[in-house]
Amino acid sequence: MSTVSKREQIDQSIDSIFRLLVDIARSPDSYSQNEQVLNALKSQGGLCSLDMEFSIRDENFSIRPVSLNTLKKRLTQPDAERDFQHLDRLRSHAQQMIYKFEEQQAAPKKRSRTALEEQVDELKDTISSLQAVNMVLIQALEVNRRDLITIADTANTGLRQKRIKDAINRVIKILGLNPAPFDDVTILSMKKHLQLVPHDQTTR
């Protein structure tokens, strides 16, 4: 008999839903024939009705049905690491990645010189886009480096907290300069990794 409480089972299922959506976006080919997953991605209610076991890189997960109201309530609590809007955007993103994969599979293989030149041009555009993303990331890292130095030298607790918040907002704004779809910062974790340490503890 399982010793996991109903609340724990719901929380585990919600966490597994997030992991599933991220994995679908990364590897749509692994889910393109899974009718249960495809139906679940069609709506918020469909996602809530999922009842399945799956694994990601040899790590096992399980999802049990949860009502839409319960899901929204869990993801709107003050201590929630992620919100419902984040979840729904991940759902839409995962669905789009599967559509894109299916379109690529259905497209006829072009072998003519013109077709190959078109593919080369597409690849060049992709490289240019990724180079632009890389430049934005370099800028974000440099700004973050300077902010961390400033924060480390800030003794006042209140001022340090303000500078931490300002630094996070600056990085988010910089990442938003990326070309689509890399400008969508909602796919980032909502978890608050930065925690304020009282200044007197840093010298121990």
* Residues 27 and 102 reside in one and the same domain: yes
* Residues 33 and 53 reside in one and the same domain: yes
Q: Give the C-alpha separation, 152 to 53, whole Å.
A: 45
Q: Is residue 1 part of a domain?
A: no
Residue 80 pLDDT: 57
Q: Is residue 25 part of a domain?
A: yes
Residue 64 pLDDT: 94
Q: Is residue 71 part of a domain?
A: yes
Q: How many CB atoms lie within 10 A of CB 133?
A: 16
Give per-residue pLDDT as tens, 38-63.
999 999 999 999 999 999 888 899 99
- β-bridge mates for residue 60, sequence order: 55
Number of domains composing the chain: 2
Domain boundary among 106, 127, 157: 106
For the chain, the average pLDDT equals: 81
Q: List helix spans (H) across 50-83.
A: 68-74
Amino acid at 72: K
Residue 181 pLDDT: 63
The burial of 97, by beta-carbon neighbours within 10 Å (0-12 exposed, 13-18 middle, 19 or more buried), is given as buried
Residue 194 pLDDT: 41
Task: State the pLDDT confidence band at 198, using cuts at 50, 70 and 90.
Answer: very low
Evaluate if residue 191 carries a pLDDT over 90: no
Residue 200 pLDDT: 44
Is there a contact between 75 and 82 (Cβ–Cβ < 8 Å)?
yes
Residue 196 pLDDT: 41
Planar angle of CA 168, 170, 173, nearest 5 degrees: 110
Instruction: Please report, for the chain, how many H helices and E strands are present, in that order.
Output: 7, 2
* Residues 127 and 182 reside in one and the same domain: yes
* Residues 18 and 53 reside in one and the same domain: yes
* Residues 21 and 88 reside in one and the same domain: yes
Give per-residue pLDDT as tens, 130-187.
888 888 888 888 888 999 999 999 999 999 999 988 888 888 888 877 776 666 665 5
* Residues 144 and 178 reside in one and the same domain: yes
Q: Give the C-alpha separation, 171 to 127, whole Å.
A: 23
| DSSP secondary structure string for all residues of 100-129 | HHHHHHHSPPP-SHHHHHHHHHHHHHHHHH
Q: Is residue 27 helix, strand or coil?
A: coil
* Residues 176 and 146 reside in one and the same domain: yes
Give per-residue pLDDT as tens, 97-134.
899 888 878 766 666 778 788 888 888 888 887 888 88
Give per-residue pLDDT as tens, 3-28.
778 888 998 999 899 989 988 988 89
Domain boundary among 80, 106, 132: 106
Domain boundary among 72, 106, 140: 106
Domain span at 175:
113-201
Q: First vs last Cα of the chain: how many Å apart? A: 47
Residue 180 pLDDT: 66
Residue 81 pLDDT: 61
Give per-residue pLDDT as tens, 83-97.
888 888 889 989 998
The burial of 187, by beta-carbon neighbours within 10 Å (0-12 exposed, 13-18 middle, 19 or more buried), is given as middle
